[in-house]
Structure 1
Amino acid sequence: MPEPLPDHAEDFPAAFRDRYNSGDIEACMELYEPDAVFMPAPGTPVRGEDIRKAMTDFLSLGVPIAAREPRHVHTAGDTALLIYDWFIDGTGPDGDPVHIEGTATDIVRRGSDGRYRYIIDNPFGIQPTDSAE
């Protein structure tokens, strides 16, 4: 059973890391609001069940994620912008090296239960993109 969802915005990256590293897709999906947007690649927003598919693809890499302490946490009411660095670095199940990294620019919102969830999960937030949403 994963830890409860975070009740402080600055704890969100660690909560994501722990749930991701558990390999439990259901635990990961609890981190998202029903109307959330996930950007599995720059300029490629997905919603709903497509979030589950994209997250499953990341989990299938079989390599844990590391998230550094947030660079910035900016809060306005129940909404927060998180900027933090992360990386996935190791050997995949096929024996090939895996290295993915980014600086996330995520937006989370505190729900009526006092817990934060993604409304925008943008792990490659500062990378250039050809299209904008």
Structure 2
Amino acid sequence: MTTVNPVIPFPEQLPVLFQDALNAGDVDGLLALFAPEAGMRTVHGEYLTGEPALRAELEGTVGRHGRLTNVQRHTLPGAGTALLVTEWTMEIDGEDGERLTATGATANIARRGGDGGWRFALLNPLGLD
């Protein structure tokens, strides 16, 4: 899918937009939610940066039929950044085809860009773990 980078006026919108794009299988839409040079810690603890690495991770999740539910708990904005604490549940196909469910809480950071819109600067689905 080709996705135009939207201007996201409020940081608390990001978790729901991420959920909706992932559930739709829209990898380009997911990548549009990331700021340039953003990073992501995977649920396996690996740290990724750069569009090719993020794309590969997201394509893998979409390819395993990932289904995400996000519940936003806290949005703490300040100085052009925001801390987003979100509870999540992910259903995904395991390597043997069995449907797996995992839950957790994030500690994500968003930043406001020059266009006034918000993007993820850092995704950390493992929260404080």
Q: TM-score range by the shorter chain?
A: 0.7 to 0.9
1:54 aligns with 2:57: yes
- State the distance in 1 between where 2:118 and 2:30 align: 13
1:67 aligns with 2:70: yes
Q: 1:34 to 1:2 in 2, by over 3 A?
A: closer
Residue 130 of structure 1 corresponds to which residue in structure 2? Answer: none
Select 1:40's aligned residue among 35, 39, 42.
42
Share of identical aligned residues, percent? 28
- State the distance in 2 between where 1:97 and 1:78 align: 39
Q: 1:86 to 1:5 in 2, by over 3 A?
A: farther
In the superposition, the TM-score normalised over structure 1's length comes to 0.83
Q: 1:67: Cα distance to partner? A: 0.3
Q: 1:94: Cα distance to partner? A: 6.5
Q: Is the 8 A contact 2:112 2:119 kept in 1?
A: yes
Q: 1:77: Cα distance to partner? A: 2.5
User: Aligned pairs, how many?
Assistant: 126
Select 1:109's aligned residue among 99, 108, 111.
111
Q: 1:114: Cα distance to partner? A: 1.8
Q: 1:125: Cα distance to partner? A: 1.4
CA RMSD of aligned residues (A): 2.3
For 1:71, give the aligned amino acid: R
Q: 1:6: Cα distance to partner? A: 2.3
1:17 aligns with 2:14: no
Task: Give SS of 1:112's match.
Answer: coil
Task: Give SS of 1:74's match.
Answer: strand
Structure 1 segments unaligned to the other structure (5+ residues) = 128-133
- State the distance in 1 between where 2:53 and 2:5 align: 25
Q: Is the 8 A contact 1:37 1:45 kept in 2?
A: yes
Q: 1:9: Cα distance to partner? A: 1.0
Structure 1 ranges of 4+ moved more than 4 A: 90-95
